[in-house]
Amino acid sequence: MTEIKDNIYNHSCNDNAGNLKNLSDFEGQTLLVVNTASKCGFTPQYDGLQELHSKFKDSGFSVLAFPCNQFGNQEPGSSAEIQEFCSVNFGINFPIFEKVDVKGENAHPLFKYLTSEKKGLLGSESIKWNFTKFLINKEGKPIARFAPNTAPEKISQEIESLLNS
């Protein structure tokens, strides 16, 4: 029996306009998947995420943001409000998807996959807060998980290594 190998390209998500987007559209790229929030103490990380995206986008890299309102109701806005907030305050030009749950019974299948592949502190699968980051290689496999307090610029070297491999 052939083992089915999962990767993020087997998943789809709604973009911030509500249109289904297949993550296979990003096949062959190095990605940083982040659960985000507009009213979080870590929200200023949007600057660092945009810097990473701008620095590496021409080399086959993209940040993918997934707003989530599960942590302290810190992402209460609509998709349009979230997009406007990110554009106006941070100049974001990487993809921002529709709001999703990243933990619990209703967690989006993408995040169920990511958390099962890359465990957090003490082997926990559950995402504990906004701005948890998953680094994905060109084959669509999660290779690292970073805590919310890990500044995006601290991931730069690992992204560069993946892009050059």
The residue that leads in pLDDT, 106 or 3, is 106
pLDDT of residue 32: 98
CA dihedral 69, 75, 78, 83 (to 10 degrees): -130
Please give the sequence-ordered ranges of beta strands (E in DSSP) within 20-140, or none if there are none: 20-22, 30-36, 61-67, 133-136
Instruction: State how far Cα 78 lies from the chain centre.
Output: 18
Q: What is the pLDDT of residues 62-77, one digit of tens each?
A: 999 999 999 999 999 9
So where are the chain's domains? Answer: 9-163
Query: Given a cut of 60, is residue 3 above it in pLDDT?
Result: no
pLDDT of residue 6: 85
| Per-residue confidence band for 122, with pLDDT thresholds at 50, 70 and 90 | low
In angstroms, the CA 94 to CA 23 distance is 14
Cβ atoms of 43 and 75 closer than 8 Å = no
CATH of 9-163, one of 3.40.30.10, 3.40.640.10, 3.20.20.150, 3.40.109.40: 3.40.30.10
Q: What is the pLDDT of residues 68-116, one digit of tens each?
A: 999 999 999 999 999 999 999 999 999 999 999 999 999 999 999 999 9
Cβ atoms of 111 and 103 closer than 8 Å = yes
Give the 3-state secondary structure of residue 129.
coil
Q: What is the pLDDT of residues 28-40, one digit of tens each?
A: 999 999 999 999 9
**Residue among 58, 78, 56, 57 nearest 67 (CA):** 78
Cβ atoms of 114 and 7 closer than 8 Å = no
| Per-residue confidence band for 1, with pLDDT thresholds at 50, 70 and 90 | very low
For 120, the token pair is 């957090």
Phi, psi of 30 (to 5 degrees): -90, 135
Q: What is the pLDDT of residues 131-141, one digit of tens each?
A: 999 999 999 99
Residue written as tokens 């998953």? 134
In angstroms, the CA 133 to CA 104 distance is 18
Q: Select which of 13, 40, 68, 86 is catalytic.
A: 40
Residue 40 annotated to the active site: yes
